[in-house]
Amino acid sequence: MEQRIYEFIKYCNSDSLTDEIPSLNYQLFTMSLRSMLPFEHKIGCKFDEIRYIDEIKTLKYYINGEDKLVINKIKQNSAMTTYDSLLEYKIIPIIISNAIWENIVNEVLKCLVFYTYSKENILEAIVLSSVLHEFIENNCIDKDYLHSVTKQRIIEFSIKDFFKDNFDAPVKNTYNVSFERERISYIMKENIFDSDFFLDKKIINYVLNKSSDENATITDFNNNNLQNLSSYLYKLRKGMIDPRKINYNSNNTELKPNIEQGSFTHPILGKCLVIKRTENEAIVKTKTGNIKVRV
């Protein structure tokens, strides 16, 4: 299973890791991974929103890319309703680190609504989560089975229950009616995966279309990072990580003042080493990849 995880996340991140500084897609992937915290009294991992907020505060110093929803959260604004084109990268670590479907859909959607309340994204997240879960857990690539089990999960999902159970908040009637209309359209499809939303999705292309990354040129440093991340995801999934060992102090997530030290430990990024410095920026090596910090 660990090898399967490695090969999958290598494929997903291959186009983000060809340069010295990984792109925003990979940065969002690692942010979610660092925000997974094992439950203390049950199997699985939760999406730690408190830590994720600190991830966003730190990201503003080194973000390598453009995205409307990410910038909106960096500005500390409320979630939008805009479609999230980078959703997949945010939720992959959440799916892989959990082995129970109820945990997966719950934690994935918590991450999603941190950014957007897009009805299309919510249904898309259920589909992507279902496919990847079956692939990681059972090495399943049977399209008919995946369609059947995913369709059943969409049927069983309640948007009202999700918001009530997690945020103790009611769903506006207009939103609920619109969502139900969209959900029924999914259920009625002969092929749930036959949608424009899924044309460029890494999960669908890898599991169902047997795409590969054989032409990708990933640096050795980044490839080693992927191997380490795969091992960590596997351990999270198997409950081999003590949650007390990944607690962190969020009193100070400032990054710029640390650059002068050359090497330092950051509450979000961990051990960091400044490997290059100019007047306006610094290249910093972290355990999940290099970042370019504006100073």
Decide: 287 and 270 in contact? Cβ < 8 Å: yes
Q: What is the tens place of the pLDDT at every residue in 98-112?
A: 999 999 999 999 999
Output the pLDDT for position 214.
59
**Which spans in 116-238 are helix H?**
119-138, 143-156, 159-167, 173-187, 202-207, 220-237
Decide: 95 and 30 in contact? Cβ < 8 Å: no
Lowest mean pLDDT among 43-52, 118-127, 139-148, 247-256: 247-256
Higher pLDDT, 129 or 18: 129
Decide: 151 and 190 in contact? Cβ < 8 Å: no
Task: Determine the 3-state secondary structure of 224 from DSSP.
Answer: helix
Output the pLDDT for position 223.
84
Output the pLDDT for position 66.
94
Output the pLDDT for position 212.
67
Gap between the Cα atoms of 23 and 64, Å rounded: 5
Q: Dmax of the chain from CA atoms?
A: 59
Residue 46 belongs to what H/E stretch? strand 45-47
**Could you give the percent of the chain with pLDDT greater than 70?**
97
Backbone angles phi, psi at 214, to 5 degrees: -60, -20
Q: What is the tens place of the pLDDT at every residue in 155-171?
A: 999 999 999 999 988 88
Task: Determine the 3-state secondary structure of 281 from DSSP.
Answer: strand
The token pair that represents 144 in the structure block: 């008919």
Q: How confident is the model at residue 3 (pLDDT cuts 50, 70, 90)?
A: very high
Q: How confident is the model at residue 57 (pLDDT cuts 50, 70, 90)?
A: very high
Place of tokens 């500390």: 76
Decide: 283 and 276 in contact? Cβ < 8 Å: yes
Output the pLDDT for position 216.
66
